[in-house]
Amino acid sequence: MPDDLQIDIQATAEDIAADSEILHRIETEKATLDATDPRTIELTSQAEKLAHGMAAKTVAERELVVEANGGDPATSTGGEPQG
């Protein structure tokens, strides 16, 4: 696998993990607030924006991994995670 591709996969994975930690902090803070607290609106908006960004990053990551495995990322459809 080309070094640049491995670096891109690793960087994307680290970015997703960092976003996940931020999302966890936001959700933990929201859980301590009353639903009528005005901060919940801002925190919910932040969480939503972050989650949308994470979804896009996971798609990009999948495409990089498919490419690293010799596939065509443009035609890869993904699938349900195994586990």
Q: Is the pLDDT confidence value at 81 over 80? A: no
For the question of whether the overall pTM of this predicted structure is more than 0.85, the answer is no
| Token reading at 15 | 């970015």
Region label for 70, one of left (φ > 0), alpha (ψ between -120 and 50) or beta (otherwise): left
Residue-averaged pLDDT of the chain: 90
Could you report the per-residue pLDDT of 21-60, keeping only the tens digit for each?
999 999 999 999 999 999 999 999 999 999 999 999 999 9
How far is residue 33's CA from residue 13's CA, in Å, rounded to a whole number? Answer: 31
Write down the H helix ranges in 1-83.
3-32, 39-68
